[in-house]
Amino acid sequence: MRDALRLLARGEDPARAAAACAQPGCGAVAVASTLEILRARQRGMDPPLARLLDDPAVTDVLINGTQAWVDRGGGLVRVDAGIRDEADARRAAIRLASACGVRLDDARPIADGTLPGGVRLHAVLAPVSGSGTLISLRVLGTRQLGVPDLEACGTLPGVVGTLLRALVASRANVLVSGATGSGKTTLLSAALCLVPTGERIVCIEEVSEIAPAHPHCVHLIERAPNVEGRGAVTLADLVRAAMRMRPDRLVLGECRGPEVCDVLTALNTGHDGGWATIHANGARDVPARLAALGALAGMGEGAVAAQAASAIDAVLHMRRGADGHRWVSEVGVLTRARGPLECALALSATADGCVTTHEAWPSLARRVGL
């Protein structure tokens, strides 16, 4: 096995490495077992973890020390990831980080990255983690879901699918809110599939997740500083760079810091048709989140309210039920008619697809031509 791993490290194909290092007289089962190990190691992991990530139903794999859990859409279930002790967990985390091309050690005990194949990694080493090594793996769907797919599975109930098409066609600026794992990125990618092929989409992300089926979509990825604290490229830097790239659609994977100032500025200076996501508990909570993020950029609450009310045409809020079902539960419109920034509801939807219109629906419908 060591010889096979050395060949793999030199760039040899796993199948050839397994065959070259097979012992005389060993059977096909032994060669197949070696090949499985080599293919998993090529991805930065051991076979038990690779099998979990290859399960098409798995969306998340979470490792807390020696304990492992997966989410197959119906909540977390305990599984065996082949990790026997804390040393195993630490080695697994460091190996995964290395496969992502990022550093993970005692000097830098937190790492984020994307594995080959699109699996998103977040890892934390002890003692920063008081529970031992923590590994979080988010599996991005290999099949691109379009708007018809989301309508069929109930993510876009009733008139919401029609509204989504109208938002894209009318070049509205849209904010998608929701909790972690609620389906914000899936919805965003599906919406961007509707953008005309003659338009250029520039996506700005912490790690690459947005993957629309579109012929002209480019990605800018944030970069952490090096060991000397230099070389960082922030989301705010990337927003400013993207504005010089002739974007027809400017997309921010997640508003989570002072870059919100640059995004609002861009959307208020002719870069219409933009999209972004933000973490919030509900559509009505988005104004408070924007104010908090704006404060990180030195913006006052009034400035954030003025910019956001002018720049953002609609808020789509994603919700995830206890059974794993994800859907657009609220659609809102930002307004500051009575002073502070507020989000007035236009639509609300239940998990079973019942849609109700609210006070902001007429103005939103007029804005998008419905």
Give the start-to-end residue ranges of the domains of the chain. Answer: 1-35, 52-141, 147-368
More confident residue, 288 or 271: 288
Question: Which residue has 């990022």 as its token pair?
Answer: 102
Which pLDDT score, from 0 to 100, does residue 143 have?
A: 66
| pLDDT category of residue 210 using cuts at 50, 70 and 90 | confident
Locate 200 and state its tokens: 């250029």
Which pLDDT score, from 0 to 100, does residue 7 have?
A: 45
Cβ contact 44:100 at 8 Å: yes
pLDDT value at 358 more than 90: yes
| Lowest mean per-residue pLDDT among 20-29, 35-44, 109-118, 198-207 | 20-29
Q: What is the pLDDT of residues 66-81, one digit of tens each?
A: 999 999 877 889 999 9
Characterise 44 by phi-psi region: left (phi > 0), alpha (psi -120 to 50), beta (else). Answer: left
CATH of region 147-368: 3.40.50.300
Which pLDDT score, from 0 to 100, does residue 190 have?
A: 95
pLDDT value at 19 more than 70: no
What share of residues in the chain are helix, strand, coil (percent, to 5)?
35, 25, 40
More confident residue, 226 or 104: 104
Distances (CA, A) of 53 to 47, 69, 92: 10, 12, 14
Tell me which residue of 59, 63, 61 sits closest to 74, measured CA to CA: 59
Which pLDDT score, from 0 to 100, does residue 224 have?
A: 80
Residues with Cβ < 8 Å from 64, sequence gap 6 or more? 131, 132, 134
Whether the ω angle into residue 127 lies within 30 degrees of 0, i.e. cis, is: yes
Which pLDDT score, from 0 to 100, does residue 8 have?
A: 47
Cα torsion through 118, 119, 124, 129, rounded to 10: 150
Which pLDDT score, from 0 to 100, does residue 13 have?
A: 55
| pLDDT category of residue 14 using cuts at 50, 70 and 90 | low
Question: Which residue has 């797919």 as its token pair?
Answer: 149
Q: What is the pLDDT of residues 220-277, one digit of tens each?
A: 998 888 777 788 898 889 988 998 999 999 999 888 888 888 888 888 888 899 999 9
Query: In the sheet where 134-138 sits, what is the strand order?
Result: 76-79, 67-71, 60-64, 134-138, 120-124, 110-114
Tell me the percentage of the chain whose pLDDT exceeds 70: 88
Which pLDDT score, from 0 to 100, does residue 25 have?
A: 53
Would you give the distance in Å from CA 163 to the centre of its chain?
Answer: 23
| pLDDT category of residue 33 using cuts at 50, 70 and 90 | low
Q: What is the average pLDDT value for the chain, to the nearest integer?
A: 87
Task: Give the up-direction half-sphere exposure of residue 359: CA atoms within 13 A in the CB hemisphere.
Answer: 4
Cβ contact 252:239 at 8 Å: yes
| Lowest mean per-residue pLDDT among 136-150, 273-287, 351-365 | 136-150
Tell me which residue of 134, 126, 117 sits closest to 56, measured CA to CA: 117
CATH level 3 topology of 52-141:
Beta-Lactamase (3.30.450)
Tell me which residue of 173, 102, 184 sits closest to 140, measured CA to CA: 184
pLDDT value at 157 more than 60: yes
Cβ contact 47:82 at 8 Å: yes
**Strand locations in the chain (E):** 60-64, 67-71, 76-79, 110-114, 120-124, 134-138, 174-178, 201-205, 217-221, 249-255, 275-279, 314-320, 326-335, 342-349, 355-357
